[in-house]
Chain A
Amino acid sequence: MEKSFENALAELEQIVKELESGTVELDEAINKYTEAMQLAKFCSEKLNNATQKVNEILTENNELKEFDAEKEG
């Protein structure tokens, strides 16, 4: 399963804090840094490149249909 945005962001935050604590060895720090940069990239892509989600309405027949609040309203 693909990582959720929330989990990725939480992991990223965790690594930043860990590195800032200064308790990590250099080799490990470089690994963590690489991982964190990948997480940041993943989050950015999820945020900015993902197609905008279409808002939907659940009809009386329990079917989902595109819903445009601007038109309907």
Chain B
Amino acid sequence: MEESKYLKISEINNYIKSLLDRDSFLNKIYLKGEVSNFKNHTTGHLYFTLKDDSSRINAVMFASNAAKLTFTPEDGMNVLVEGRISAYPAQGSYQIYIEKMEVDGLGNLYIEYEKLKKKLASEGLFNKEYKKPIPKYPEKIGVVTASTGAAVRDIMSTIKRRFPICQAILFPSLVQGKDAAPNIVEQIKKADEFGVDTIIVGRGGGSIEDLWAFNEEIVARAIFECQTPIISAVGHEIDWTIADFVADLRAPTPTGAAEMAVPTILDLNTLLDNYRIRLNKNIKSMINTKFITLRNLRHSFVLKNPMTIYEVKLQKFSNLIENLNNTMDKTIISKKIVYDKIMASPILKNPYSLFDKKKNKYELLVNTLKLVNPLNILEKGYSLVKVDDKLVKSSKDIKLKDKVNVKLHEGEFEAVVSKIKE
């Protein structure tokens, strides 16, 4: 038996390690998996296992690298790691030596967030026209949040302090974890059906995972469909959750939401005082103005010397009488002149002179008529020839066989045309 062909365990393990170390692929490798068996060693090195559904690999993260982590790894956490694969000869195992590690899922969450935001925006859920106005003086406010913690305390005490005549009703809800979203939806519906003036939905600040329920689609839709105006108050000053975009009003903090939901009693008292002052000032100045007008009227000339009214009227009356007399005189005189003229006319002095004048004119006309009477011509032997009651003046006025009427100085007769000469 040749002893030399048998290797020591350390020799083969070191050989395997050298093989792995020479492989450039394994020198820089990226893995994702779930943390389990996490141990934080007193030296600061981290030892754990990375696994997926069917497989696992040991993992080491040395203190120098672990110090740069921005989170504390724990069992069940999904992580993304960067490192190299090498063997640990003492154990005969290979493992990943992690240089960088981050939480997996955040990236996915952001992608989901952006996707949902885009989808709901394109559906119009964020549109201004759907934003309901927040009642200025609510009498009941529904609060959907966790029943313990700073958020509920801040909201309830702020409402009580600012506007104590408003009742706040808490609809307790989970605000974190996988059951939070359906629970928030249920409580928003309850508050909506219960009948309140405004609903505040929110929670105190936290990491993006803590706030995640407020980025869920069902919560967004419940807020959109709610008939009651909703103020969102997801305690994150800078980042907007989907719920913030859908809500009718977005408050940066729970306290801020309560301040937006109710006025302060102090401001209202000041406003009422202001109205009273304005009313008093106004009515006083109005009465004062009327009073001055009244006083001016009382002191007016007429009221002080009532006789002046009479005097003026009297003066006017006597003027009118005088005018009337003058006009009457003038009319009578002018009529008299016309009358005298008429009485002096010759016609009235000798009425027969007009008759003689007319008789002379008549005789003259009769003589003239005798001179021009066409029948006088017939006496001299001329005759009138007519066809159809029209005088015949030319041979063109008649045709052969026409019956013509011939009028003589004494009597008349009819004849028939037997020949026509041009």
Give B156-197 as 1s and 0s: 1 = Cβ < 8 Å from A's Cβ atoms.
110110001111111110000000000000000010001000
Give, as a whole number of angstroms, the nearest-CB distance from B412 to chain A.
102
Which of A9, A53, A58 contacts B137, CB < 8 Å? A9
Give, as a whole number of angstroms, the nearest-CB distance from B38 to chain A.
34
Segment 17-62 of A: residues with Cβ below 8 Å from B: 19-20, 26, 29-30, 33, 36-37, 40, 43-44, 46-48, 50, 52-58
**B153 and A69 contact, CB distance less than 8 A:** yes
Q: Which residues of A contact B268 (CB under 8 A)?
A: 9, 43, 47
**B165 and A50 contact, CB distance less than 8 A:** yes
Q: Which residues of B contact A29 (CB under 8 A)?
A: 282-283, 286
At the interface, yes or no: B147 with Cβ under 8 Å from chain A?
yes
Assembled-state Cα–Cα distance A44/B278 (Å)? 16
Segment 187-245 of B: residues with Cβ below 8 Å from A: 190, 194
Which of B137, B149, B157, B164 contacts A52, CB < 8 Å? B164
- Interface size range of chain B in the complex: 35 or more
Q: Which residues of A contact B136 (CB under 8 A)?
A: 6
Nearest chain A residue, comparing its CB with the CB of B265? A47
Known: A6-B135, A47-B265. A73 touches B165 (CB 8 A): no
At the interface, yes or no: B371 with Cβ under 8 Å from chain A?
no
Q: Which residues of A contact B287 (CB under 8 A)?
A: 26
At the interface, yes or no: B150 with Cβ under 8 Å from chain A?
yes
Known: A16-B275, A70-B153, A73-B150. A46 touches B165 (CB 8 A): yes
Q: Which residues of B contact A47 (CB under 8 A)?
A: 165, 265, 268-269, 272
**B169 and A69 contact, CB distance less than 8 A:** no
Which of B160, B171, B271, B275 contacts A58, CB < 8 Å? B171
Assembled-state Cα–Cα distance A50/B139 (Å)? 12
Give, as a whole number of angstroms, the nearest-CB distance from B235 to chain A.
15
Q: Which residues of A contact B290 (CB under 8 A)?
A: 26
Nearest chain A residue, comparing its CB with the CB of B289? A26
Known: A47-B265, A58-B194. A67 touches B156 (CB 8 A): yes
**A40 and B272 contact, CB distance less than 8 A:** yes
**A58 and B148 contact, CB distance less than 8 A:** no
Known: A13-B275, A40-B272, A47-B269. A57 touches B286 (CB 8 A): no
**A33 and B283 contact, CB distance less than 8 A:** yes
Known: A6-B135, A6-B136. A53 touches B164 (CB 8 A): yes
Segment 123-163 of B: residues with Cβ below 8 Å from A: 135-137, 139, 147-150, 152-153, 155-157, 159-160
Find the residue from A9, A50, A54, A69 having the highest chain B CB count within 10 A.
A69
Assembled-state Cα–Cα distance A19/B268 (Å)? 21
Assembled-state Cα–Cα distance A37/B150 (Å)? 42
Q: A16-B275, A43-B272, A69-B155 are in contact. List 18 more A-B contacts (CB 8 A).
A: A4-B137, A5-B137, A6-B136, A9-B268, A19-B282, A20-B282, A29-B283, A36-B279, A40-B272, A40-B275, A47-B268, A55-B170, A56-B169, A58-B170, A58-B194, A69-B152, A73-B152, A73-B153
Enumerate 5 A-B pairs (CB-CB under 8 Å) in ascending A order.
A4-B139, A36-B279, A47-B268, A58-B169, A69-B156
| In the A-B complex, the 7 residue pairs with the closest CB atoms | A73-B153, A69-B156, A53-B167, A52-B164, A57-B170, A6-B137, A69-B153
